Structures are given as structure tokens and as C-alpha cells.
Structure 1
Amino acid sequence: MEKLKGALVVGFLRLFALLPWRAVQAVGAAIGWSMWKLPNRSRDVASINLSKCFPELDAAAHDRLLGRSLQGIGKTLTESACAWIWPAQKSIDLVREVEGLEVLHEALASGKGVVGITSHLGNWEVLNHFYCAQCKPIIFFRPPKLKAVDDLLRKQRVQLGNRVAPSTREGILSVIKEVRKGGAVGIPADPEPSLSAGVFVPFLGTQALTSKFVAGMLAGGKARGVFLHALRLEDGSGFKVILEAAPAAMYSEEVETSVAAMSAVIEKYVRAYPSQYMWSMKRFKKRPAGEAKWY
């Protein structure tokens, strides 16, 4: 049964990748619109997250943002299908604007390891190809449950000579070793970690359990941190990649100080582009002691 599911999913991904780019966007928006209008768990989770993170919105504004966000998530799905199937350069060609590329070049020239930090904002699969075209990083990721999809992604994400590392003990060690020897890695900073691997820090007006992984690699200036996001352009023609140097506080030896500073940067981007965040992710599943669960 798992093989059949995997084959069906990969088949649908390949179908999406056959579409012209405008159709890719339109189909994605239609999927998101259906998620908005029909009862489903993703809509419920996204609505809860938005109500907690933007409590100032009235019911109408909340629903509008929910609709735009779910349509954005639908677009991310179909766009990512293309990024997983197409040659990498075809995805890179969709990057129409780049801001702050010199930040990455300076970090790479420093002789220290480089930690590329991103989040589930915009399209991280297009970003992956862009980043890998600039250097040859190890990309850290959580493997999907379906083996066929995992096999596809492992193949497609290394088209440009980079490597990937799953979120296992071996994968974590490979990322740390790469940074220590002066190499580059890419890490999504917002998946919720285990309680032992994270600390609660402010994020969008609430407390969010956030990974200590990046903080450990940057502590004391042992490596350089660079934020990267590929954000969807309003006209639907492609993406703008924005790069930003990690703030000084992220190099603190105090883990909580570093993690909070990282969270603040991600929050800044999410507030600027709220409809492009993956609100259907159970980002706030674990809560501080004594606080009720959200989901």
C-alpha cells in the first residue's frame, strides 16, 4: 500500500511539473481556495495559529488572511512539485530579484563555516536550488514518510553537487562536522524540536519552542550565520531572494539569547509576508508548563 501511495504522489508531482508556470500558480491557488472553503484539518490548524499570533485581527480580517495563506500554501505545493522534478536551473531562473547576496559572499570568504538559516516562509525548495548554486552546502531536512517521495527528494535536492542530511543523529553530526571544517550548511530554523533540543522564546506574540541547533554552531563566532528566504513576487512571475547577516546577539554564548535573536529575525519576515508562511504547520504544538495545548 505504501508503494502505491508513493507512486501516486510522485505521479501527481510530475503532472504539476508539466504545467506552464502561470498554470502552476493557478492550480496551487485553487487547491488553497478549496482548503479555505472546505472543512479540513489544515484549515483548522492555520486558523488557530493565526488567531494566536495575530489576535488584533477582527473576524473578517482573520478570514481574509486565512484565505490568502491557504492559497499561498497551495501555491507552495505546486511550485515545490516543479522544483522537485525540473532541472535545478529552471527553478533558479524563477529568481527575478536578489537582495543581500554580498552577505553570503562575505560569509563564504571569511574562512569560517557558514550556516544558512531559513524558515517555512515563501518557497524553500526554490531557495534550496539558489543556495546550492552559490556554494555546495549540506542541506538539513526531515525525511517525508513515503519512501518514493524521500527517494525523489534526495535525488533532486543534490543536482548541483551539494549533499543532504536527514534529521537523524548521523545527519546532525555530519552538519556539525561540515561547519567545523569551514563548509556551508542550510537549516530550516522553525520546525518544532523536542523539549530537550529547544528553548521557549518569543515568536509572534507568543512563546514558541525553538531549536538550539543553530545557536550551538554560531556560539562565540565559531561560524557565520546568514538568513535566506525566497519570497513569492506579487505578480506571480517568480521569486525574490533576500539574504541578511545574523545579528550580533546570535553569536552569544548564552543559548537563550542567541535563539531569541534568531526567532526575532524570522518573526520580522513572517510579519512582513504573513500570507506566505506555512500556517498549517503545528509550529506551537508543545506549550510552556501550565499552558493549554492549542491543537
Structure 2
Amino acid sequence: MEKFKGALVVGFLRLFALLPWRAVQAVGNAIGWLLWKLPNGSREVVRINLAKCFPELDAQAREALVGQSLKDISKTLTESACAWIWPAQKSLALVREVEGLDVLHAALASGKGVVGITSHLGNWEVLNHFYCAQCKPIIFYRPPKLQAVDELLRKQRVQMGNRVAPSTKEGILSVIKEVRRGGAVGIPADPEPSRSSGVFVPFCGTQALTSKFVPGMLSGGKAVGVFLHALRLDDGSGYKVILEAAPAGMYSENVEEGVAAMSAVIERYVRRYPSQYMWSMKRFKKRPAGEKKWY
């Protein structure tokens, strides 16, 4: 049954990727609108997250952001389906603007390991192709449950000659070793970790359990950190990739200081492009001691 489900999903993705770009976005927009208007778990998670993270918004403005977020999240998913199937160069052609590429070039020329840091903001699948076109990193990812889909993604995500590492003990070790020997890696910094692997730091008006992994690799200047995001342009024609050097605080040997500095950068981008963040994920499932669960 799992094989059948996997083959069905992959077959659907291949058919979907045949659609024109504007049709891909239109389908995503329509799915998002339905998710906004019909009762479903994703809508409730988005509402909870936005109510906690943007308490300064009145009810009308917040609900409008809920709707736009669900539309943008759905467009990210339909656009990503194309990035999973298309040749990498076709996805790269959608990168219309790049800001801060010199930051990555300087990091790569430093002689140290480079940690590319991103989050669930914008389109991380297009970003993957862009980053891998600049160097040959190991990309850290969480494998999907369906084996056929995992095999497809592992194949598509290494089109530029890079490698991938699943979020397993072996994958984590391969990422650490790559950085230590002066290579490059790419890591999403915002998935909620286990309690032992993270600390609570401020994020968008609340406390969020945040991974110590990336700041741990940078502490003491052992490696160089670069933030990367691919944000959807307002006209829908493609993306703007923004690169930024990790702030000094992320190199601190104080764990909480390093994690808080990383969280602050991600928050700044999320507040700038709030609807493009994946508010449908249960980012705040674990809460500080004594605080009631959100979901």
C-alpha cells in the first residue's frame, strides 16, 4: 500500500509540473483560499500561531493575514512540486534578483566551513538549487514518510552535484564533519527540536524552543554562517534571493546568546514577509514549564 501511495503521489507531481507557471500559482492560490474558508486543522494552527505572534494586529487585520498566509503557503507547495520535478536550471531561471551574493563568496573564500542557514520562509526548494549552484554543500533535510517521495527528492535535490543528509544521527555527523573539513552545508534553523537539543528564546513576541545545532557549529568562529532566503516577488514572476552574514552574536560561546541571535535574524525576515512563512507548522508545540499547550 505504501508503494502504491508513493507511486501515486510521484505520478501526480509529474503531471502537475507540466502546468504553466501561472497555472501552478493559480492552483496554489485556490487551494489556499479553500483552506481559509473551509474548516480544517491547518487554518486553526495558522490562526493560533498568528494570534500569539502578532497580538498587536486587530482581529480583522489578523484574519486577513491568515487568508494571505494560507494562500502563500499553498503556492509555496505547488511551486515546490515543480522544483521537485523540473531540471534545476528551469527553477534557477525563476530567481530574478539576488542581494548579498558577495557575503557567500567571502564566506567560501575564508578557508573555514560554511553553514548556510535558512527557515521555512519563501521557497526553500528553489533556494536549494540556488545555493547548490554556488557551491557543493550537504543539504540537511527531514525525509518524508513515503519512500518513493523521499527517493524523488533525494534525486532532485542533488542535481547540482551536491549531497543530502537526512535528519538522522548519521546525517548529523556527516554535516558536522563536512563543516570541520572546510566544506559547506545547508540547514533549516527553525524546525522545533527536542528539549535537550534546544533552548527557549524570543521569536515573534513569544518564546520558541530553538535548535542549538547551528550556533554550536559557529561558536568561537569555528565556521562562517550565511543566512539565505528565496522570497516570492509581488508580481509572482519568480523570487528574490537574499543573503546575509550571520551576526556576531551567533559566534558566541554562550549557547543562549548564539541561539537568540539566530532567532532574531529569522524573526526580522518573517516580520518583513509575514505571509510567506509556514505558519501551518506546529512551530510552538513544546512550551516553557508551566505554560499551557497551544495546539
TM-score between both structures, scaled by the size of structure 1: 0.99
Give CA deviations for 1:139-178 in whole Å, capped at 9, x if unaligned.
0000001111101000000001000000000000000000
CA–CA distance in 2 between the matches of 1:143 and 1:204?
28
User: What letter corresponds to residue 30 of structure 1 in structure 2?
Assistant: A
Deviation at 1:58, TM superposition (A): 1.4
Aligned length: 295
2:181 counterpart letter in structure 1: K
Partner of 1:184: 184
- Correspondence for 2:53: 53
Deviation at 1:235, TM superposition (A): 0.2
Please state how far the C-alpha of 1:203 moved relative to its aligned partner. Answer: 0.2
Amino acid at match of 1:116: G
Query: What's the RMSD between the two structures over aligned residues?
Result: 0.6
* 2:62 maps to 1:62: yes
Q: For residue 124 of structure 1, what is the aligned residue in structure 2? A: 124
1:7 Cα shift?
Answer: 1.6
Indicate the larger mover: 183-192 or 37-46: 37-46
Alignment match, 2:97: 97
Q: Secondary structure at the match of 1:261?
A: helix
Alignment of 1:205-224 (within 5 A): 205-224=205-224
Residues of 2 paired with 1:16 and 1:222: CA distance?
Answer: 43
Alignment of 1:157 onto 2:147: no
2: CA distance, partners of 1:9 / 1:75: 18
Work out the CA distance in 1 between the residues paired with 2:48 and 2:237: 31
Query: Residues 1-295 of structure 1: matches in 2 within 5 Å?
Result: 1-295=1-295
Output the CA distance in 1 between the equivalents of 2:226 and 2:95.
18
Distance 2:292 2:9 in 1: 36
1:186-207 deviation per Cα after TM superposition (whole angstroms, max 9, x unaligned)? 0000000000000000000000
Report the secondary structure of 2:43's partner residue: helix
Which amino acid in the other structure matches residue 83 of structure 1? A
> What's the CA shift for 1:57?
1.4
Listed as ranges, the gaps of 5+ residues in structure 2 are: none
Deviates more, 1:4-13 or 1:77-86: 4-13
Distance in 1, matches of 2:63 and 2:44, equals 12
Letter in 1 for 2:201: V
Structure 1 residue 59: Cα displacement: 1.5
**Length-normalised TM-score, structure 2:** 0.99
How many Å separate the matches in 1 of 2:106 and 2:18? 38
Separation in 1 of the partners of 2:8 and 2:75? 20
Whole-angstrom CA distance in 2 between matches of 1:60 and 1:202: 26
Choose 144-153 or 12-21, whichever is displaced more: 12-21
State how far apart, in whole Å, the 2-side matches of 1:84 and 1:33 are.
24
**d(CA) in 2 for partners of 1:172, 1:2:** 27
Counterpart CA distance in 2 for 1:41 and 1:5 is 22
Q: 1:31 & 1:7 partners in 2: Cα distance?
A: 22
Q: The residue matched to 1:143 in structure 2 has which SS? A: coil
Q: Say which SS state the counterpart of residue 191 (structure 2) adopts.
A: coil
Deviation of 1:28 (Å):
0.7
What is the rounded CA distance, in whole Å, between the counterparts of 2:34 and 2:279 in structure 1? Answer: 16
For the residues of structure 1 that align with 2:255 and 2:249, how far apart are their CA atoms? 10
Consecutive unaligned residues in structure 1, runs of 5 or more: none
In 1, Cα distance between equivalents of 2:35 and 2:46: 10
Distance 1:49 1:219 in 2: 31
Equivalent residue letter for 2:148: A
Partner Cα distance (1:199, 1:12) in 2: 40
